[in-house]
Amino acid sequence: MSNLCYLTIRELLNKLKASEITSEEVTKAYLDRISELDKKINSYVTVDVEGALEQAREADKKRSNGDEGALLGVPLALKDLIVTKGLRTTCSSKILENFVPPYDAFVTKKLKEAGAVIIGKTNMDEFAMGSSSETSYFGAVRNPWNTDKIPGGSSGGSAAAVSANLCAGALGSDTGGSIRQPAALCGVVGLKPTYGRVSRFGLVAFASSLDQIGPMTKDVEDAAILMNAIAGHDPMDSTCANEPMPDYTADINKGVKGLKIGIPEEYFTAGLDGEIEKSVRDNIKFLEDDGAKVVPVSLPHTKYGVPTYYVLAPAEASSNLARYDGVRYGFRNKDSEGLADMYKNTRKDGFGAEVKRRIMLGTYALSSGYYDAYYLKAQKVRTLIKNDFVTAFKKVDVIVTPTTPTAAFGIGEKTDDPLEMYLSDILTINANIAGIPGISVPCGFTADGLPIGLQALGAYFDEASLLRVAKVVEQKAGVLAENPSL
């Protein structure tokens, strides 16, 4: 039955509809595989064995009664900052180690309505603050392709679980590349939708103007299937756009003939690994051969992305994380004298080093006397970066770049150098600053057998064009048949 774990969402749905398999069989196969293999990669924080089996039996019952939910009976995992009613949501932090939410996130509710089986919650960088999934209170996640390497972050658990076939698909969140970067490093597909395309209601906030939930899947069509399930307007999220919802699977096989694809010189500069550049350029040639027109474009403010992000994101984090005070829910330090002491000790003991670092950075940037010099200036540069993309998309339909400057690096290699760690998101951050959609699709391997990702960036609410480009890359690159040997 473990062969079931290698099937895509589309393949599973076809077999379930044809009554060749049951959801209970599939779910059991995944649970057995997690039990056997996850100790090697640590991709899950919580596995809901009883709950998943109960959901699977319910899905089978519904199908026998003629129900055809869009994801009926498909086992999925959620990054552990998407709240799930009755199932703990920790953000991989000690401060929320035992937090059980009383409600479902919008996307959780949508998946349940579509009939999905929520198999568990995936490990991540604490409060999504990290690029390597090493800052988790529950221990580092490991890359299934080489367990001495990082899987990327912060959605490293979701990426590793999908890559290792420990779920049919997963949701992650992307604040500065946290879906696309781990997707690239683990050899899976990761889509960051346009800001506002998917509701953030029930997503534990890191940086509210940058966070976005998206799918992480085994192939491009699966990403489209999950987008159909989770996207759409939600009145509970004031930043959620009330835009028409396409069927994301409709044009996925349309090819790229006639599309104008922009290649920004700023993304192919010093620091980009040679193997990655070659693989991405080879795939750009595939797109050209398939009928796309390749056009050079310039995004002149690209170099300001990292400093802008590391003012804006920590500033919003320092505000969002003020709610974790030990009073209402979560961890509380019991050995304190007085309220102020309890606040201080709770936050000192409950948060990890990277979270504390970013809270302090953000508090400093927002403090009296520095607000204009840092936060206000960063907001102005944000507008310049956004305008670069708006101008570029007047000339082209899609922009293609590498997803990451290097392949997966070693566990512990960059933990003592925060700046070096922050630079690993240099190619993904600007899409979040501008709010545009982006996708990473596997496009090759390094000589050491580590996955390489190609990134496609699109105009606002044009995820459909990204999926078309990604589908062609997926077909031409031919890396889908590869699986990590755990």
Q: Which strand (E) or helix (H) includes residue 380?
A: helix 377-392
Active site residue 336: no
Cα separation, 24 vs 272, whole angstroms: 45
Cα separation, 229 vs 223, whole angstroms: 10
Tell me the sheet residues that pair with 262: 295, 399
Closest CA relative to residue 470, chosen from 287, 214, 213, 234: 287
Q: At what angle do helices 220-230 and 9-17 cross, to 10 degrees?
A: 70
Q: Which of 79, 110, 149, 471 is catalytic?
A: 79
Q: Which of 154, 158, 279, 465 is catalytic?
A: 154
CB atoms within 10 A of CB 453: 32
Cα separation, 240 vs 194, whole angstroms: 10
Contact between residue 267 and residue 288 where contact means Cβ atoms under 8 Å apart: no
Q: Which of 93, 132, 178, 199 is catalytic?
A: 178
Tell me the sheet residues that pair with 296: 263
Active site residue 154: yes
Contact between residue 96 and residue 90 where contact means Cβ atoms under 8 Å apart: yes
Task: Return the residue matching tokens 């920590």.
Answer: 314
Half-sphere exposure of 172 (CA within 13 A, CB side): 39
Active site residue 485: no
Q: Encoding tokens for residue 123?
A: 């490990």
Contact between residue 185 and residue 142 where contact means Cβ atoms under 8 Å apart: no
The type of residue at 437 is P
Residue 195 has what DSSP assignment? T
Half-sphere exposure of 352 (CA within 13 A, CB side): 23
Closest CA relative to residue 195, chosen from 180, 182, 178, 210: 210
Cα separation, 286 vs 304, whole angstroms: 31
The type of residue at 158 is S
* Active site members: 79, 154, 178
